[in-house]
């Protein structure tokens, strides 16, 4: 297990380029299975989660060529439909591969994705959706087998606007007979990105970005080249790094409209924000102010930014109240922030944060991807040295985090 060692107290200043979106890359890489052809993807982040997804594709028989952020996937000779358990367990979101595999081969077997550090994360909505499409789903001894003669479009009402279930059902119904309509669909920008990629490949989908997505089945798909959208959570993380250090930074390769709730909260904290089509500038105040936050499905405040904002609010003036509405166990990292001096009380969904003057550097452990990023952000503003351990969690979703922060003037090294 590796660690980041951070010497806190440097204002971040300068410009940073935001990478392609992790959460858009995963379903889009899965989509490359559907066309039985060549898919060229640009702006793919080189992170653990994309590496695992590509590893699975190779095992399934796809040819994968990688050159920096460009990936070519040739799925013509793909001949396997079973995802090995050890890879499935490494990454819960590999469950979206099931929709693409069953969509093309009418057959797949995956192992049940294990629980995870931020909550139980069931996949019942994915499986109910598959069943509505005429797919037989059998669950036994930790495995899920999906098979059918053909996939037939249907209406699917999601009990909750799940991002993964919306994507999985879209993938499974692209080559279906007839029309599928997903209501109460998730509206995240990553779903719009998936729709755009699939349509460029020859699919007929409309409505992504609203709560009704309509997929008209097609018989054939074609070769495609596509550029992945920027990562809005990486962008939010850098903005928080700028804010907490009293810095002045500019993010390039971002889509500010995807960050509206994050930008508004940063403004409420006292930051000056300027946006143009593909950049965001942030100038932090001398002292940040407390704000209240409730996480919600998009376009609400993203749960993935909750922990990172809590790090910022822990050293802001006043008391902040956070309500986590998406995942039931997403406050584990607060125990680590407390080791750095934070005053946080958690009860159920709610965290109450009393702002302190400054963090003190400490030896802390990442508990999950975004919780780990929160510890790094706290370390940047702490007095003295912070060692963040178990950074494998962080490497799942951030590309060159230490290098990018160093470019902005942070003192952070990988050990
Ligand atoms: C995706 C994101 C993740 C983000 C989350 C919410 C990816 C790879 N990951 O995760 O970063 O935090 O959206 O924005 O895109 N649920 C069920 N049954 C299901 C599916 C979900 O009860 O079948 C529940 C979950 O337990 C959770 C809520 O729905 O409480 C939201 O989950 P979902 O939107 O599905 O998140 P993911 O797609 O797993």
What digits encode the pLDDT tens for the residues 41-63?
999 999 999 999 999 999 999 99
Ligand 1 within 6 A of 162 CB?
Answer: yes
Ligand 1 within 6 A of 234 CB?
Answer: no
Whether 230 has a pLDDT exceeding 70, the answer reads: yes
Domains 4-19+230-414 and 22-227 share a fold: yes
Ligand 1 within 6 A of 94 CB?
Answer: no
Q: Whose CA is nearest to atom 2 of ligand 1?
A: 23
Classify strands 350-354 and 343-347 as parallel, antiparallel or unpaired: antiparallel
Domain spans, the chain: 4-19+230-414, 22-227
- Cβ contact 296:322 at 8 Å: no
- d(CA 163, ligand 1 centre) in Å: 6
- Cβ contact 196:265 at 8 Å: no
Ligand 1 within 6 A of 160 CB?
Answer: yes
Ligand 1 atom at minimal distance to the Cα of residue 124: 23
Q: What percent of the chain has pLDDT over 70?
A: 98
Side-chain half-sphere exposure of 127, counting CA atoms within 13 A:
16
Ligand 1 within 6 A of 123 CB?
Answer: yes
68, burial (CB in 10 Å: exposed 0-12, middle 13-18, buried 19+)? exposed
> In the annotation, is 62 catalytic?
no
Distance CA 390, CA 4 (A): 9
| Average confidence (pLDDT) over 321-338 | 96
Q: Whose CA is nearest to atom 12 of ligand 1?
A: 304
Question: 140's torsion region: left (phi>0), alpha (psi -120 to 50) or beta?
Answer: beta
Q: Hey, which of 112, 119, 121, 161 would you mutate to test ligand 1's pocket, going by the most ligand atoms within 8 Å of its Cβ?
A: 121
Q: For residue 87, what pLDDT band results from cuts at 50, 70 and 90? A: confident
| Average confidence (pLDDT) over 225-241 | 98
Q: Please identify which residue in the block is written with the tokens 């952000």.
A: 377
- 155: how many CB neighbours lie within 10 A of its CB? 11
Ligand 1 within 6 A of 301 CB?
Answer: no
pLDDT tens by residue, 354-404: 999 999 999 999 999 999 999 999 999 999 999 999 999 999 999 999 999
Q: Whose CA is nearest to atom 33 of ligand 1?
A: 162
Considering only the top CATH level, what class is 22-227?
A: alpha beta
Q: For residue 331, what pLDDT band results from cuts at 50, 70 and 90? A: very high
- d(CA 325, ligand 1 centre) in Å: 11
Whether 257 has a pLDDT exceeding 50, the answer reads: yes
- d(CA 124, ligand 1 centre) in Å: 11
Ligand 1 within 6 A of 21 CB?
Answer: no
Structure tokens at 373: 């990023």
pTM over 0.85, yes/no: yes
Ligand 1 atom at minimal distance to the Cα of residue 297: 14
pLDDT tens by residue, 89-121: 888 888 999 999 999 999 999 988 754 566 667
| Average confidence (pLDDT) over 229-258 | 98
Ligand 1 within 6 A of 232 CB?
Answer: no
- Upstream peptide bond of 207 is cis (omega within 30 degrees of 0): no
Query: Starting from the edge strand earliest in sequence, which strands make up the sheet with 385-389, in order?
Result: 363-365, 385-389, 4-7, 411-414
**Is domain 4-19+230-414 in CATH 3.65.10.10, yes or no?**
yes
pLDDT tens by residue, 197-217: 999 999 999 999 999 999 999
Ligand 1 atom at minimal distance to the Cα of residue 190: 15
Ligand 1 within 6 A of 169 CB?
Answer: no
Q: Whose CA is nearest to atom 29 of ligand 1?
A: 162
pLDDT tens by residue, 5-38: 999 999 999 999 999 999 999 999 999 999 999 9
In three-state form (DSSP H/G/I as H, E/B as E, the rest C), the secondary structure along 198-229 is HHHCCCEEECECECEEEEECCCCCCCEEEECC
Whether 196 has a pLDDT exceeding 60, the answer reads: yes
- d(CA 140, ligand 1 centre) in Å: 23
- Write the CB contacts of 367 (distance below 8 Å, at least 6 apart in sequence): 117, 332, 333, 336, 390, 393
Q: Whose CA is nearest to atom 7 of ligand 1?
A: 23
Computed over every residue of the chain, the mean pLDDT equals: 96
Structure tokens at 185: 């669909």
Q: Which of 62, 116, 148, 240 is catalytic?
A: 116
Q: What pLDDT shows up at residue 380? A: 98
Q: What pLDDT shows up at residue 115? A: 46
- d(CA 186, ligand 1 centre) in Å: 10
């Amino acid at each position: 297990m590796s660690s980041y060692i951070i010497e806190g107290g440097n204002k971040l200043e300068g410009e940073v380029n935001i990478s392609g979106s992790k959460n858009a890359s995963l379903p889009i890489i899965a989509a490359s299975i559907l066309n039985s052809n060549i898919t060229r993807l640009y702006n793919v982040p080189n992170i653990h989660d994309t590496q695992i997804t590509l590893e699975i594709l190779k095992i399934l028989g796809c040819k994968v060529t990688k050159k920096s952020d460009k990936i070519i996937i040739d799925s013509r000779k793909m001949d396997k439909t079973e995802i090995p358990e050890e890879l499935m367990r490494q990454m819960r979101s590999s469950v979206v591969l099931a929709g693409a595999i069953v969509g093309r081969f009418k057959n797949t077997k995956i192992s049940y994705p294990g629980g995870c550090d931020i909550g139980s994360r069931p996949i019942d909505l994915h499986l109910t959706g598959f069943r509505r499409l005429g797919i037989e789903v059998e669950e036994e001894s930790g495995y899920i087998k999906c098979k059918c003669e053909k996939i037939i479009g249907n209406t699917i009402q999601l009990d909750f606007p799940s991002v993964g279930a919306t994507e999985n059902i879209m993938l499974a119904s692209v080559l279906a007979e007839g029309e599928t309509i997903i209501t109460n669909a998730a509206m995240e920008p990553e779903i719009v990105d998936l729709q755009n990629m699939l349509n460029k490949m020859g699919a007929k989908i409309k409505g992504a970005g609203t709560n009704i997505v309509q997929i008209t089945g097609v018989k054939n798909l074609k070769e495609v080249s596509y550029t992945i959208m920027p990562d809005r959570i990486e962008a939010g993380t850098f903005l928080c790094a700028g804010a907490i250090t009293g810095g002045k930074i500019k993010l390039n390769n971002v889509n500010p409209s995807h960050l509206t709730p994050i930008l508004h909260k940063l403004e409420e904290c006292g930051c000056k924000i300027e946006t143009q089509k593909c950049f965001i500038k942030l100038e932090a105040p001398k002292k940040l102010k407390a704000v209240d936050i409730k996480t919600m499905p998009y376009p609400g405040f993203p749960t993935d930014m909750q922990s990172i904002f809590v790090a910022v609010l822990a050293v802001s003036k006043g008391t902040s109240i956070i309500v986590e509405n998406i995942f039931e166990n997403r406050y584990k990292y607060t125990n680590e922030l407390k080791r750095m001096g934070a005053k946080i009380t958690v009860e159920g969904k709610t965290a109450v944060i009393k702002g302190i003057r400054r963090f003190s550097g400490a030896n802390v452990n990442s508990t999950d991807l975004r919780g780990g990023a929160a510890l790094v952000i706290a370390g940047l503003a702490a007095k003295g040295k912070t060692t963040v351990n178990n950074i494998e969690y962080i490497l799942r979703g951030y590309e060159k985090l230490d290098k990018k922060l160093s470019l902005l003037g942070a003192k952070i090294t990988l050990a």
